[in-house]
Structure 1
Amino acid sequence: MASMMNKLRNLDAYPKINDDFYSRTLSGGLITLVSSIVMLILFFSELRLYLHHVTETQLRVDTSRGEKLRINFDVTFPGLACSIISLDAIDISGEKHLDVRHDIVKRRLDSYGNVIETRQDGIGHTKIENPLQKHGGRLEHNETYCGSCYGAEASDDECCNSCEEVREAYRKKGWAMSDPEIIDQCKREGFVQRVKDEEGEGCNIFGFLEVNKVAGSFHFVPGKTFHQSGFHLQDLLVFQRDGYNISHKVNRLAFGDYFPGVVNPLDGVPWTQETLNGMYQYFIKVVPTEYTDVKEHIIQSNQFSVTEHFEKTDDHRQSLPGVFFFYDLSPIKVIFREQHVEFLHFLTNVCAIVGGVFTVSGIIDSFVYHGQRAIKKKMEIGKFG
């Protein structure tokens, strides 16, 4: 047993030196203090990384099919009334959503930006309770009212019982409603009068769109959009001699749900030109993004980059006044995954910190100690300096 213990003792890689042979120095004490502080700082830094999650990033080809793209928006127009703003969405598959009203909220604003009224739909949606005329003739007793479409009806039996239905019939025909005052339904509903009453007001419009996950656009324009012979036209309800003030502020624009670390570059960005009447254009590149937190909860969302452009509306250019967002989708998907550092990895880093700092401080101490001794020896024999 004694010989085995001796053999084990001979394997000691850390031979001990008697305390009588130790020489403690002031420089060694300072180096020990500094190295201890550095060691503690690095240890707590590593501990913080271990206690908090880290995010790993990957890039993959987006293979998703048949999904919908949710567009959340909040835009303020300080010089455009809610009654004349309409929202349209079009994509390259040919799907069109003109004058979108569902999931959209408009808030009337005064000249100071204070909210006057909040409403779900625009005006022009009210049915006439006491009609004045019957389409194709006089209204008889107990007859059901059928309002005229003023030449835009698809058949003799088609009725337009509200200003909105007349406008819709005109849109289907590709006609512009030049003077709503001659339309009995619009006059009865006070459509034009309400537009005039809101003159000088602003509008905050917010909500969301559910569109196909393909390239497309959506835009805010004064009046109502319609298509004729492949051209994109607008039915401007109230002509303004000085044009329309399309200056605006994008309070929020996001493609999909929020996830930690997302940056939406248009949030809170105002855009005003010297010429307020024109086509404001945003060209957006949408990047599909998947975020997985430490609890394995997956968030499917998107990031985007944007480029702006403004085109002035004048007599020589037939560009439509409004704010247009053109978006395209990237084929690359970004994947973020939250995860904790493994304990063995943390332990390895701590050992590396302690050993590394201890070794480096030992080298520095040895260099300082032997340097001091060499200088002292030269001074004793008078060769220093």
Structure 2
Amino acid sequence: MRRLSRKKTLSLVKELDAFPKVPESYVETSASRGTVSLLAFTFMGILTVLEFLVYRETWMRYDYEVDKDFTSKLRLNIDITVAMRCQYIGADVLDLAETMVTSSEGLVLFDLTPQQRQWQRMLQQIQNRLQDEISLQDLLFKSAMKSSVTALPPREHPPTEPLSACRIHGHLEINKVAGNFHITVGKAIPHPRGHAHLAALVSHDSYNFSHRIDHMSFGELMPGIINPLDGTEKIAEESNQMYQYFITIVPTKLHTRKVYGDTHQFSVTERERVINHATGSHGVSGIFMKYDISSLMVTVTEDHMPLWKFLENHEHNISSNHCSEILQPDPPL
């Protein structure tokens, strides 16, 4: 008897319906309602796909703060080719702390091979696009393009012509203060008031400050950054040519999915003129890169939509579509 009563109780619970359904005979179907429902579900599916694409996408957030680090050293990475023999020129850095640092050099051929010239044109096109479309830099940050991609490719065959150019390359540890990296005639010699270049020992006919900057950066080499002067080439029309680059260095922290580290970006303003003391254009022939450190530090962070936000937006889309179906007007009787 107890088993029979339990079975009856279970059957009653199963058949219990707190929300009775409307009999199908009372429901009036129409083609317009079905069409609206189909469009609503299609629209909901499109919104879901678009929301998922937004969820997968990331964007860059830029935060600014005061740079409080003034004691650490700054790394200068340089690769410049000057159309003069190494014995005729000197390259060094002199900063406000009166510290002089020299760099390594070697004889090369100034003219590029067709493959190297193609690489240079490609890099110059990227530089032009970066000036017109700032958002392109965000794509480079995300892709974390390695610096080896922007490196000058080696020559396919050793040159047969005489090596008449000087390649100055390597990295220097400099103080984190304003300074001047310069290349001018004559080797540098230190003296109590700074340093001087022995230009008197070089014939004026040997002056040629045509140069090519294959790479110049500050700080650790970081993928995803193309520096403003990479791929720059200047051809001097006069022997007494003076090239000036005014550089502002901005400390940068890069926090992306692929890269996490500290580096330095910079902006540059260029100026060139011919030295002619007879016309009042005074100065020294050469290449001068005057740099200064910005007091602001930039933190670049790759942001991503959190999962709870994606689910919230998805639920909102579903609720909106259901409301649109409920609010459909009844067909006329």
Q: TM-score normalised by the shorter chain: which range applies?
A: 0.5 to 0.7
Do the aligned residues in 2 keep the contact of 1:111 with 1:201 (CA within 8 Å)?
A: no
Q: How does 1:1-385 map to 2 (within 5 A)?
A: 9=19, 20-25=27-32, 28=36, 31-32=39-40, 34-49=42-57, 54-77=59-82, 79-97=83-101, 100-101=102-103, 104-109=104-109, 111=111, 201-226=164-189, 233-236=196-199, 237-241=201-205, 244-275=207-238, 277-294=240-257, 298-316=260-278, 317-338=281-302, 340-356=304-320, 358=321
Determine which structure has the larger helix proportion and give its number.
2
Give the C-alpha shift of residue 323 in structure 1.
0.9
Larger radius of gyration: 1
Question: C-alpha offsets along residues 23-73 of structure 1, whole Å, 9 cap, x if unaligned?
Answer: 233853773475145224313313423xxx654331111111310010111
User: For residues 224 and 283 of structure 1, do their structure 2 counterparts lie closer, same or farther at Cα, with a shift above 3 Å needed?
Assistant: same
TM-score, normalised to structure 1, is 0.59
| Structure 1 unaligned regions, length at least 5 | 115-197, 375-385
- Structure-1 residue corresponding to 2:124: none
Question: C-alpha offsets along residues 312-361 of structure 1, whole Å, 9 cap, x if unaligned?
Answer: 122334411111110111111111234554322222232234445x2697
TM-score, normalised to structure 2, is 0.67
Do the aligned residues in 1 keep the contact of 2:87 with 2:187 (CA within 8 Å)?
A: no
Give the C-alpha shift of residue 210 in structure 1.
0.6
Q: Once superposed, what is the RMSD of the aligned Cα atoms?
A: 3.9
| CA distance, structure 2, for counterparts of residue 354 and residue 328 of structure 1 | 55
| CA distance, structure 2, for counterparts of residue 37 and residue 7 of structure 1 | 32
Counterpart of 1:91, as a letter, is: D
Counterpart of 1:22, as a letter, is: T
Counterpart of 1:59, as a letter, is: Y
Runs (4 or more) in structure 1 with deviation over 4 Å come to 5-10, 15-19, 110-114, 226-233, 359-363
Do the aligned residues in 1 keep the contact of 2:245 with 2:270 (CA within 8 Å)?
A: yes
Counterpart of 2:308, as a letter, is: L
Question: C-alpha offsets along residues 166-198 of structure 1, whole Å, 9 cap, x if unaligned?
Answer: xxxxxxxxxxxxxxxxxxxxxxxxxxxxxxxx9
Counterpart of 2:95, as a letter, is: D
Do the aligned residues in 1 keep the contact of 2:105 with 2:166 (CA within 8 Å)?
A: no
Do the aligned residues in 1 keep the contact of 2:63 with 2:299 (CA within 8 Å)?
A: yes
| Structure 2 unaligned regions, length at least 5 | 1-8, 115-160
Q: How many residues align?
A: 271
Question: C-alpha offsets along residues 123-145 of structure 1, whole Å, 9 cap, x if unaligned?
Answer: xxxxxxxxxxxxxxxxxxxxxxx
Do the aligned residues in 2 keep the contact of 1:39 with 1:354 (CA within 8 Å)?
A: no
